[in-house]
Chain A
Amino acid sequence: MRELILVGQPNSGKSTFFNALSGYKALTGNFPGATVTYQEGELNLFGRIYKIVDLPGTYSLIPQDKAELEAKKFLVKHKDATIINIADSSVMARSLELTIELIELQRPMVLALNMIDVARRKGIVIDIEKLSKLLDIPCIPTSAKRGNGVIDVIRAANKNKIPENSITLKFQKDVEEIIHSLAKHIPEKAVKDLNIPKRTIAIRLLEEDLYYLKVLEKYNKEIDLQLKIAKEKLEKKHGKEAKFVIAAERHNLAMEIFEQVTTFSKSEHVVSFGEKIDNFVLHPILGYIILIAVFYGLFTLIFNTGAHFEALILERFDALSKLIESEISNKMLSLTLIGLVQGVGGALGIALPYIVPFLIGLAILEDTGYMARIAFLADSIMHKIGLHGKAVVSFVLGYGCSIPAVMAARNLENTRDRIITASLSVLIPCSARTVVIFGLVGYYIGKWYAIGLYIINVLVVGIIGRVLTKIDKTLAPGLVLEIPEYHMPVLKNVLIKTWIRIKDFITVVLPLLIIGSIIMVYLEHYSLDTVINSALKPLTVFILGLPEKVGTTLIFGIFKKELSLMMLFQALGTNNLSTVMTHSQMFVYAVFTLFYIPCISTIPVLYRETGKKATMYVIFGTLILATILGIAARFVGAIIF
Chain B
Amino acid sequence: MGVLLNQKEGQKVEIVELKGCSNFISKLYKLGIKEGVKVNIKRKSNICPILLEVNGSIVAIGRGMAAKILVRGI
Where the two chains meet, the residues of A that have a C-beta atom closer than 8 Å to any C-beta of B are 59-60, 62, 64, 90-94, 97, 122, 124, 241, 243-244, 247-248, 251, 258, 278, 282, 284, 287, 372, 375-377, 379-380, 383, 388-389, 413, 475, 477-484
Distance to closest chain B CB from A203 (angstroms)? 15
Contact B60 A376 (CB under 8 A): yes
Chain A contacts of B24 at CB under 8 A? 477-478
CA distance A561 to B36 in the complex (A): 55
> Which residue in chain B gives the minimum CB-CB distance to A372?
B60
Contact B51 A483 (CB under 8 A): yes
Contact A478 B48 (CB under 8 A): no
CA distance A379 to B22 in the complex (A): 22
CA distance A97 to B33 in the complex (A): 13
Contact B58 A93 (CB under 8 A): no
Contact A478 B55 (CB under 8 A): no
CA distance A481 to B61 in the complex (A): 7
CA distance A478 to B28 in the complex (A): 11
Contact B56 A480 (CB under 8 A): no
CA distance A372 to B58 in the complex (A): 11
Query: Does B31 count as interface, using CB distance less than 8 angstroms?
Result: yes
Contact B64 A92 (CB under 8 A): no
**A379-B48, A478-B62, A480-B31 are known contacts. Are A90 and B25 too (CB-CB below 8 A)?**
no
> Which residue in chain B gives the minimum CB-CB distance to A479?
B62
Distance to closest chain B CB from A172 (angstroms)? 14
Contact B34 A480 (CB under 8 A): no
Contact A64 B64 (CB under 8 A): no
Contact B30 A60 (CB under 8 A): yes
Contact B57 A94 (CB under 8 A): yes
Contact A94 B35 (CB under 8 A): no
Contact B65 A480 (CB under 8 A): yes
CA distance A490 to B2 in the complex (A): 43
Query: Does B72 count as interface, using CB distance less than 8 angstroms?
Result: no
Contact A483 B58 (CB under 8 A): yes
Contact A389 B62 (CB under 8 A): yes
> Which residue in chain A gives the minimum CB-CB distance to B59?
A482
Contact A480 B27 (CB under 8 A): yes
CA distance A258 to B35 in the complex (A): 18
**A282-B48, A284-B48 are known contacts. Are A247 and B62 too (CB-CB below 8 A)?**
no
CA distance A477 to B28 in the complex (A): 10
27 intermolecular pairs with C-beta atoms under 8 Å apart:
A62-B26, A64-B26, A64-B27, A64-B30, A93-B55, A241-B22, A244-B29, A247-B29, A248-B34, A251-B32, A278-B43, A376-B49, A376-B60, A377-B48, A379-B49, A379-B60, A379-B63, A380-B48, A475-B23, A477-B27, A477-B65, A479-B65, A480-B33, A480-B65, A481-B60, A482-B59, A483-B51
Contact A479 B60 (CB under 8 A): yes
Query: Does B74 count as interface, using CB distance less than 8 angstroms?
Result: no
Distance to closest chain B CB from A101 (angstroms)? 11
